[in-house]
C-alpha cells in the first residue's frame, strides 16, 4: 500500500513547535518532540526553508515562520515536503495482462477517478491552516 510520507506529519509537528516556541526550536529540540533522529528533522526543516515557510537561525539556533500561521495551509506543508509525487498519491500496478479486458483497460479507467480523489484531498488540506491546528492543540 502506498502511503503519504511521514515527512508530512513530522513537518506539521515541526511548524507547530516553531510557531508555539520559536526560541527553543533547534533540530535537537524538535527531534526530541517528534521522537526521531535530528538528521531527519534537519532534512525536513531544509525542505520547509526551501519552500519559504521558515527561516533557521544560524549559530544561536531556533527557527521562525516566514508567514503567519493563518497563511500556511496543510496543502502548503504537504507540497513543501513532497509527501507524495505530483499526481501520484495512488500508484497503479504495472504489467497487467493485456490479453484480459480488465487488465488491458483498468489503468485508463482508474486514472481519472484517482486524480479526482487526490484533488479532493488536496482541496481539503487547503482549507486547514497551521493556526487552526495550533488552536486545537491549545484547547487539549
Give the domain ranges of the chain. Answer: 7-88+129-139
Of 57, 53, 33, nearest to 130 by C-alpha is: 53
Question: What residues contact residue 80 under an 8 Å CB cut-off, 6+ apart?
Answer: 11, 47, 48, 50, 51, 53
Looking only at Cα atoms, what is the longest distance across the chain? 64
The CATH number given to 7-88+129-139 is 1.10.10.10
- The vertex-72 CA angle with 82 and 12, nearest 5°, equals 55
Q: Give the per-residue pLDDT at 129.
A: 98
Residue 105 to residue 23: CA distance in whole angstroms? 55
- Residues 70-107: tens digit of each pLDDT: 999 999 999 999 876 666 677 777 788 888 989 888 88
Of 121, 41, 40, nearest to 75 by C-alpha is: 121
Sign of the C-alpha dihedral computed for residues 56, 29, 67 and 78 taken in this order: positive
User: What predicted TM-score, i.e. pTM, was given to this entire model?
Assistant: 0.84
What average pLDDT does the segment 44-64 reach?
88
- Residues 20-31: tens digit of each pLDDT: 987 788 888 999
Helix-helix angle 7-20:27-34, to 10 degrees: 120
Residue 118 to residue 111: CA distance in whole angstroms? 11
Q: Give the per-residue pLDDT at 27.
A: 85
Amino acid at each position: 500500500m502506498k502511503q503519504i510520507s511521514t515527512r508530512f506529519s513530522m513537518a506539521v509537528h515541526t511548524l507547530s513547535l516553531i510557531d508555539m516556541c520559536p526560541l527553543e526550536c533547534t533540530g535537537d529540540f524538535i527531534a526530541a518532540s517528534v521522537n526521531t533522529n535530528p538528521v531527519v528533522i534537519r532534512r525536513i526543516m531544509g525542505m520547509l526553508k526551501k519552500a519559504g515557510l521558515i527561516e533557521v537561525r544560524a549559530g544561536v539556533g531556533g527557527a521562525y515562520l516566514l508567514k503567519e500561521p493563518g497563511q500556511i495551509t496543510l496543502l502548503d506543508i504537504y507540497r513543501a515536503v513532497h509527501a507524495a509525487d505530483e499526481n501520484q498519491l495512488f500508484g497503479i500496478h504495472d504489467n497487467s495482462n493485456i490479453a484480459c479486458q480488465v487488465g488491458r483497460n483498468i489503468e485508463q479507467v482508474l486514472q481519472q477517478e484517482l486524480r479526482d480523489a487526490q484533488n479532493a484531498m488536496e482541496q481539503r488540506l487547503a482549507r486547514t491552516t497551521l493556526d487552526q491546528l495550533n488552536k486545537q492543540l491549545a484547547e487539549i
